Amino acid sequence: MNIDNSPLLALPTNLSDETAATLLDFLYEAVRLVEEHYADQLLRYYHRPDPRQTDLWDDRDPPF
């Protein structure tokens, strides 16, 4: 069995500590901006109602 263990991204291995930290800060900021831009879509996707969940009462009936 031959498993490909190559990385998803070809990242340099000779970064200084400061450059590695700067790269990580940049990536966190990029993710923050994507989350902010697509917040509505992400909330809808991750918080979809479970179709197996039944309603406690029928909303079509008047309350009184």
Model pLDDT, residue 10: 86
- What does the pLDDT look like over 17-57, one tens digit per residue? 999 999 999 999 999 999 999 999 999 999 888 778 777 77
What is the model's pLDDT at position 28?
98
pTM: 0.61
Sequence spans of domains, the chain = 17-46
The whole-angstrom separation of Cα 47 and Cα 42 is 8
H-assigned helices in the chain:
17-37, 39-46
- Which of the four pLDDT bands, split at 50, 70 and 90, describes residue 7? confident
pLDDT of residue 6: 74
